[in-house]
Amino acid sequence: MFGNWLKTMILMAGILALFAAVGGAIGGAQGMLIAFLLGAGMNFFAYWFSDKMVLRMYNAQEVDEASSPYLYNLVKELAQRAQIPMPRVYIIDEAQPNAFATGRNPDHAAVAATTGILQMLSARELRGVMAHELTHVKHRDILISTISATVAGAISFIAQFGMLFGGSRDDRPNPIVSIIVMILAPIAAMLIQMAISRAREFEADRGGAEISGDPHALADALAKIDAYARGIPMQTAEAHPETAQMMIMNPLSGGGIRGLFSTHPATEERIGRLRAMA
């Protein structure tokens, strides 16, 4: 628990530093001040409200035992096995098979699954996927994931519209430096997400296999999701790529550069590790 809180604090400090650096490079001292205040506000917002924003972004609908007994009772059983509070359960009307967890701690957590994953996976496979997501909740890394998704989008926004910071005539930055910063800032945000997400996915796979008691089921689910997700676009994820690292599988289309900058480990390696556990 302490380790994840420390990582969260380091991430928030890094966000403030990156905001200030982008603002300073684009708008001088005035831009740095504005960016620093914006970064502090973004940290506050991300801690308390980013989970709600992400769920609303994907138009996720909360379900209960009456409206979706199969999924709800599955999550309830796995939450008991993981010894964590029952999270809120959501369904996203998307054909692509995928799922994610969000929230600031296990007492304020939510798990979401797409209609595609509910239709495509067997009961064993879905059980492995939801155990994976509950491991994210148990390890308390969902806050890190959600914050990084929120601020990555904000950093890209600042970089894109950074010239609006202005700056006084005596403190106006070099326009070439500003252009370079506008290009590199989103890449820096992406690298932060990659560093956070790849290690988390391996740990969540291992924990999900332990909670479900069936490593092969999660391995089979990952293989099936990977095969189908490539050909089924998810428009919300394409419009907000900063949220991609929250999913159990990268929801973004494309190849080449996508693989190089993917926030997820190679599916083959994930499957290999799960098979070895069994």
Tokens read off for 64: 């209960």
pLDDT over threshold 80, residue 244: yes
For the question of residue 77 being annotated catalytic, the response is no
pLDDT of residue 199: 75
Q: In the chain, pLDDT over 70 holds for what percent of residues? A: 68
d(CA 143, CA 164): 31
Q: Which two tokens stand for residue 5?
A: 């809180």
Q: How many CB atoms lie within 10 A of CB 278?
A: 11
Give domain limits for the chain.
Answer: 50-153+176-277
Per-residue pLDDT, 246 = 87
| Catalytic site residue from 94, 125, 133, 201 | 133
- Looking at domain 50-153+176-277, what is its CATH homologous superfamily? Metalloproteases ("zincins"), catalytic domain (3.30.2010.10)
Structure tokens at 154: 């904000």
* DSSP per residue, 109-134: EEEEEEHHHHHHS-HHHHHHHHHHHH
Residue-wise pLDDT tens digits, 16-60: 677 777 767 766 677 677 767 776 777 677 778 878 989 999 999
Q: Is the pLDDT of residue 1 over 60?
A: no
Average pLDDT of the chain? 82
At 167 the pLDDT is: 47
